[in-house]
């Protein structure tokens, strides 16, 4: 029986087992996003002091579930789908050990459900970080451990598929760049999950009474190797998807594949060390450890992101210019398909990730100016730029691409899909910018009550801080509306979207059942040939518009960085 089908629209080959696993992982991810999005509304409307919706205990419960569903379950479920897509579809290979892949998926679902149940029962409102000595119910930790084991199995299925593809000679030459990026994400994921096991297994044993003490500082160091690195998986994954999307939409080729690969290699070496910025004010570790891990190693990872930030739009510009969009600096960008949510989603994600997430990330990683904003609401503002927009919007853009290709359904309400990246980006950008401002004024993160009602030591934030959190709240609500639009389009597409393949029913969409047998009519796809080297013309800048954008980023960075140092001197006067 043939194992593969070819998508008549995109030309992608789908292995039957891999296709089912991609679908179920993507669906599970979207369900997690739905939960996270609903809970986000509770968080926003409580932090907005004039609304102050939830009582304290419910707020912390909601915030815990929102964080874990958004930062762990949504992104990792979706990333496992991306790994199977990259290794199987892009390499035209059968999937290694599909039985293990299903077992991994089952563990992830059981773990996610168990963890959510623990939080909903009300005795595990310990935030995503679950710092000791706060103690959650044992099944809170057990759920996370099971989820992590399932994800680890997914990572090894990905590596096994790379080996299979090489043995079966399904591709020529080196791994394609997008798959290399997915490999980078997998490597970071394995370190992340191993760190999670090192700290969460003893914490679970502590919660059931077998261990009587977990050192709080030790916990923080090892936990952040899980907590922050898990977000670095996202970075590697969404950058890979940027290369994929520019390749599909514009036929763009990386400006220099060697340089892009080297940038991914820098991620492998250095990206995970940035976890240290969470420990920058902890007294237990030396300045040498802090400065090496943040101010030296982290900058090499930042360099990698800047390379990707230059080469992805640069490749798109070169491709557009070759089609004749050569007028001025930005005709290539003006004539881009702004009405296509795959493009607009990807491009907004790139800009917001780079300009806001990137610049604020460097500020947070600088030991001295980190002091201004450490543990303030600036931190969630930063990671909403990187994860909630950079990663999530990229995954949303990819979903719009995959609904017809993978699920074989036309987009439901395409006008809404067209608007969605604009609404989501606008809302989130407003929220992020104003919360960055509030954080700079010292508004603490995670705190239920800006008024400190009933506190023994009172404190008054300036009125501007209240205003900024309120405007941020309006932006956040708009962001939730944008998220809801995504869910309406995606779930609606699987329910009501026009069938591009007659056998693409509800169970095929939501449960991952294969399409009709007759669709799988390819025994073995043809070998993926190595692309011809890109010809470079050395008669000036190949991508001048991108160069100008990069200079704009540099100016923004220098100005913002200088302002922060100046601000530090005023909040911490010497002499």
Partner 1 sequence: MSEDTNLPKPERIPFFQRMLDNPFLLLFIGVAMPTVFYTLWGVMEVATIPIAK
Residues that bind partner 1 (CB under 8 A): 159, 162, 174-175, 180, 183-184, 186-188, 190-191, 194-195, 198, 215, 217-218, 221-222, 225, 229, 261, 265, 268-270, 272-273, 275-276, 279, 284-286, 289, 292-293, 297
- Shortest spacing between CB 93 and partner 1, in angstroms: 14
Q: Name, in order, each residue with C-beta under 8 angstroms of 437's C-beta and a sequence gap of 6 or more.
A: 464, 468
d(CA 346, CA 540): 28
- Shortest spacing between CB 290 and partner 1, in angstroms: 9
- For the record, the structure tokens of 48 come out as 């907005």
Q: Which is nearer to partner 1, 299 or 557 (CB)?
A: 299
Q: Which is nearer to partner 1, 80 or 316 (CB)?
A: 80
- Residue by residue, DSSP assigns 196-257 as HHHHHHHHHHHHTTS-----HHHHHHHHHHHHTHHHHHHHHHHHHHHHHHHHHHH----S-H
Q: Which is nearer to partner 1, 182 or 431 (CB)?
A: 182
DSSP assignment letter at 52: -
- Shortest spacing between CB 547 and partner 1, in angstroms: 27
Question: Which is nearest to 261 in space by CA: 182, 328, 205, 194?
Answer: 182
- Shortest spacing between CB 266 and partner 1, in angstroms: 11
Q: Which is nearer to partner 1, 283 or 575 (CB)?
A: 283
- Shortest spacing between CB 311 and partner 1, in angstroms: 16
- Biggest alpha carbon distance in the chain? 80
d(CA 180, CA 307): 16
Q: Which is nearer to partner 1, 146 or 188 (CB)?
A: 188
How far is CA 223 from each of CA 63, 126, 275, rounded to the nearest angstrom?
18, 14, 9
Q: Name, in order, each residue with C-beta under 8 angstroms of 347's C-beta and a sequence gap of 6 or more.
A: 313, 336
- Shortest spacing between CB 292 and partner 1, in angstroms: 7
- Shortest spacing between CB 301 and partner 1, in angstroms: 11
Q: Which is nearer to partner 1, 198 or 559 (CB)?
A: 198
Q: Which is nearer to partner 1, 236 or 389 (CB)?
A: 236
CB 220 within 8 A of CB 282: yes
- Shortest spacing between CB 370 and partner 1, in angstroms: 17
Collapsing DSSP to helix, strand or coil, 139 comes out as helix
Planar angle of CA 107, 23, 415, nearest 5 degrees: 135
Q: Which is nearer to partner 1, 222 or 396 (CB)?
A: 222
Q: Name, in order, each residue with C-beta under 8 angstroms of 41's C-beta and a sequence gap of 6 or more.
A: 477, 480
Q: Alpha carbon 31 to chain centroid distance? A: 16
Evaluate the CA torsion angle 71, 510, 3, 253 in order and state its sign: negative
Q: Which is nearer to partner 1, 267 or 332 (CB)?
A: 267
Q: Which is nearer to partner 1, 155 or 519 (CB)?
A: 155
- Shortest spacing between CB 177 and partner 1, in angstroms: 11
- For the record, the structure tokens of 396 come out as 């949303």
Q: Which is nearer to partner 1, 60 or 171 (CB)?
A: 171
CB 66 within 8 A of CB 39: yes
- Shortest spacing between CB 315 and partner 1, in angstroms: 19
Q: Which is nearer to partner 1, 265 or 555 (CB)?
A: 265
- Shortest spacing between CB 170 and partner 1, in angstroms: 15
- Residue by residue, DSSP assigns 414-461 as HHHHHHHHHHHHHHHHHHHHHHHHHHHTTPBSS-S-TT-TT-SS----
- Shortest spacing between CB 279 and partner 1, in angstroms: 7
CB 84 within 8 A of CB 157: yes
CB 120 within 8 A of CB 57: no
Other C-beta atoms lying within 10 Å of the C-beta of residue 506: 10
d(CA 85, CA 105): 15
């Amino acid at each position: 029986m043939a194992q593969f089908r070819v998508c008549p629209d995109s030309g992608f080959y789908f292995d039957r087992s891999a296709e089912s696993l991609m679908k179920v992982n993507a669906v599970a991810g979207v369900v997690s996003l739905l939960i996270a999005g609903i809970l986000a509304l509770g968080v926003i409307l409580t932090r907005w002091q004039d609304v102050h919706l939830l009582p304290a205990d419910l707020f912390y419960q909601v915030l815990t579930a929102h964080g874990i569903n958004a930062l762990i379950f949504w992104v990792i479920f979706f990333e496992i789908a991306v790994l199977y897509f990259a290794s199987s579809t892009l390499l035209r290979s059968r999937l290694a050990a599909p039985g293990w892949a299903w077992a991994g998926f089952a563990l992830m679902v059981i773990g996610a459900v168990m963890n959510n149940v623990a939080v909903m029962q009300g005795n595990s409102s310990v935030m995503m970080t679950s710092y000791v000595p706060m103690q959650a119910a044992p099944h809170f930790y057990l759920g996370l451990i099971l989820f992590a084991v399932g994800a680890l199995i997914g990572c090894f299925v990905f590596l096994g598929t790379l080996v299979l593809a090489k043995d079966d000679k399904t591709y020529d030459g080196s791994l394609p760049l997008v798959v290399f990026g997915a490999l980078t994400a997998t490597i970071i994921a394995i370190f992340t999950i191993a760190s999670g096991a090192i700290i969460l297994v003893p914490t679970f044993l502590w919660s059931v009474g077998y261990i009587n003490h977990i050192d709080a500082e030790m916990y923080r160091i090892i936990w952040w190797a899980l907590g922050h690195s898990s977000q670095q998986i996202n970075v590697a994954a969404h950058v890979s998807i940027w290369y994929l999307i520019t390749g599909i939409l514009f036929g763009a080729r990386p400006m220099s594949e060697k340089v892009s690969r080297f940038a991914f290699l820098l991620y492998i070496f250095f990206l995970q060390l940035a976890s240290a910025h969470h420990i920058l004010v902890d007294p237990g570790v030396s300045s040498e450890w802090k400065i090496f891990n943040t101010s030296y190693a982290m900058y090499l990872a930042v360099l990698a992101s800047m390379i990707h930030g230059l080469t992805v739009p640069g490749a798109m510009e070169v491709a557009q210019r070759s089609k004749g969009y050569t007028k001025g600096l930005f005709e290539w960008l003006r004539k881009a398909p702004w009405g296509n949510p795959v493009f607009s989603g990807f491009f907004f994600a790139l800009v917001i990730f780079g300009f806001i997430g990137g610049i604020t990330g460097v500020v947070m990683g600088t030991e001295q100016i980190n002091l201004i904003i450490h543990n303030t609401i600036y931190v969630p503002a930063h990671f909403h730029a990187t994860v909630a927009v950079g990663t999530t919007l990229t995954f949303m853009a990819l979903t719009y691409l995959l609904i017809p290709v993978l699920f074989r359904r036309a987009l439901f309400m395409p006008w809404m899909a067209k608007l969605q990246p604009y609404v989501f980006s606008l809302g989130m950008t407003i929220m992020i910018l104003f919360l960055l401002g509030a954080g700079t004024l010292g508004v603490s993160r995670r705190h239920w009550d800006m008024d400190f009602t009933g506190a023994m030591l009172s404190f008054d934030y300036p009125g501007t801080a209240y205003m900024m959190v309120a405007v941020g709240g309006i932006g956040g609500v708009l962001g939730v509306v944008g998220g809801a639009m995504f869910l309406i389009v995606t779930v609606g597409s699987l329910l009501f979207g026009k069938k591009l393949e007659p056998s693409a029913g509800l169970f095929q969409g939501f449960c991952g059942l294969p399409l009709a047998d007759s669709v799988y009519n390819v025994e073995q796809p043809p070998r993926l040939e190595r692309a011809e080297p890109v010809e470079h013309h050395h008669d000036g800048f190949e991508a001048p518009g991108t160069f100008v954008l990069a200079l704009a980023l540099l100016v923004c960075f220098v100005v913002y960085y200088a302002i922060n140092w100046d601000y530090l001197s005023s909040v911490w006067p010497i002499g």
